[in-house]
Structure 1
Amino acid sequence: MNPAHVRAHLAGHPWLAEAHAGNRGALLLLNLSGHAALRLHGRHSLLTTLQTHLDAHTPHAMYQLRLLDAAPGELSPPAVDRWLDTSRPDGALALAEHEHDGHWTISLQLPLELVHFDDHFQQAPVLPGVLQVGWALALAAPRLGTSMHCREMEALKFQRLLRPGDRVELGLRFESDDDDATRGKLHFSYHLDGAHCSSGRLRVERAHG
């Protein structure tokens, strides 16, 4: 199959801004309509629709289709095939971070192909709350010196859904106990476009060593 023909057929779909074709599959950059379809129907349904569109032009072309988070520049067919061999992401992409008086703010992007969206939920992908807690613990550990293990959770609030492609800000700070500086509470909060999404307090200890 000619990658140039596949690219041309896919690029004409109303959900796509770009398509990069290889010998075994294609990488797809969604436009605004495509992002809306992904959030409404989920990754599996979106890719099935695009495969059906491709079949109408090139029957029996069972290409592997993957989504891109950003425009990659020009990619050769071998480069596309190498990209297709990479694993789907299982964590957020850290874009920037800064610290002030012990308060950390980390900008994160939720990948379109984050594996955790498949099960939560396949047709309406939403970032699981347990994952938000886990990310807060994991990202706080090297920055605040806190343990990855939570002893207790308090005041958990999930007020706004986080979806594929969202760019969020995670705030972190550690408040030590009055009687023991090695123990305390990790405060976390997620914000999207300035709006509060979720927050909580996690009872943790300072990591040893």
Structure 2
Amino acid sequence: MTRQESHAREHPADRAMYVHAHPWVAQARAASHQAPCQGVAVWLNDRGIAQLLQHGRADLLTELDSQYVANEPLREPCAWRLFDQDFPIPEGAALDAEIARPQPGEPLLLGEHTTSTGHLFELKLPLDLALFDNHFRAAPVVPGVMQVAWALAFGARHYGPMSCGTMDAVKFRRLVRPGDRLHLEVAHDTGRGRLDFTVRIDGILCSSARLHVVPAEGVDDAR
């Protein structure tokens, strides 16, 4: 077999086979041969998630891919998607579509309900949320400014689009990281032009602030 023939036969399924054997991985699935985007979906176990939190996505993928490189030095470009074990494993066309989808840009909304003062959103942060690639490469965390943006975006679902001029009573007490489940609560005081928000994980306060807001016509909301 020539090098060209060997290269032509390569497929992400080969990567998935080697990656699945890695001690950080619970499951690995490759896109089908017919998929428009050839890649691998990886479900990390607790050890893998710990590595992601400590070293970031790029270093984790380099480590996972090294198992394949050591055995199959001829490689094609490959797309990667990362999941924890809360995310169900799709099959067939659904798996191909998931691999082809770009890294998510927003948290996953699991549910919401009205509280005595406002609205509570239950959010899940995908392991490969795009913002983690740059903040920070080796220590992924959600920046405070993004938590403010999420408060405005999800608040807009009930109160309409808003823009924030100033804020006070700002507190950032705990890091928000890949895989976290958040409770984001927002409360709008129309008379005072305020949107108060809190972010909690397992009841522990991560952040809070009082945003001074005005209606922002024509701004897209989180829907």
Give the TM-score, by structure 2 length: 0.82
Alignment partner of 1:162 out of 176, 185, 189: 176
Q: Which residue of 2 aligns with 1:58?
A: 72
- Taking the aligned partners of 2:142 and 2:12, their CA distance within structure 1 comes to 34
- Taking the aligned partners of 1:46 and 1:184, their CA distance within structure 2 comes to 44
Alignment partner of 1:124 out of 139, 150, 166: 139
1:38 aligns with 2:52: yes
- Taking the aligned partners of 2:62 and 2:29, their CA distance within structure 1 comes to 17
Q: Which residue of 1 aligns with 2:82?
A: 67
Q: Which residue of 2 aligns with 1:194?
A: 203
Q: Compute the displacement of 1:193 (Å).
A: 1.1
Q: Secondary structure at the match of 1:151?
A: strand
Query: Structure 1 10/98 Cα, relative in aligned 2: closer, same or farther at 3 Å?
Result: same
Q: Compute the displacement of 1:206 (Å).
A: 4.6
Q: Compute the displacement of 1:102 (Å).
A: 4.1
Moved more, 94-103 or 195-204: 94-103
Q: Compute the displacement of 1:82 (Å).
A: 3.6
- Taking the aligned partners of 2:127 and 2:183, their CA distance within structure 1 comes to 17
- Taking the aligned partners of 1:2 and 1:136, their CA distance within structure 2 comes to 42
Q: Compute the displacement of 1:118 (Å).
A: 1.2
* Identity fraction in percent: 42
How many residues end up aligned between the 2 structures?
202
Q: Which residue of 1 aligns with 2:20?
A: 11
Where in structure 2 are there 5+ consecutive unaligned residues?
1-9, 219-223
Q: Compute the displacement of 1:3 (Å).
A: 5.5
Alignment partner of 2:122 out of 107, 118, 134: 107
Q: Which residue of 2 aligns with 1:151?
A: 165
- Aligned-residue Cα RMSD (Å) equals 2.1
Q: Which string of whole-angstrom CA distances, capped at 9 and with x for unpartnered residues, describes residues 42-100 of structure 1?
A: 00000011111111222223433221244433523x65444332111111111011003
Q: Compute the displacement of 1:30 (Å).
A: 0.2
Q: Secondary structure at the match of 2:162?
A: coil
Q: Compute the displacement of 1:27 (Å).
A: 0.5
Where in structure 1 are there 5+ consecutive unaligned residues?
none
Give the TM-score, by structure 1 length: 0.88
Alignment partner of 1:96 out of 105, 111, 114: 111
> Is the Cα contact below 8 Å between 1:20 and 1:75 reproduced in 2?
no
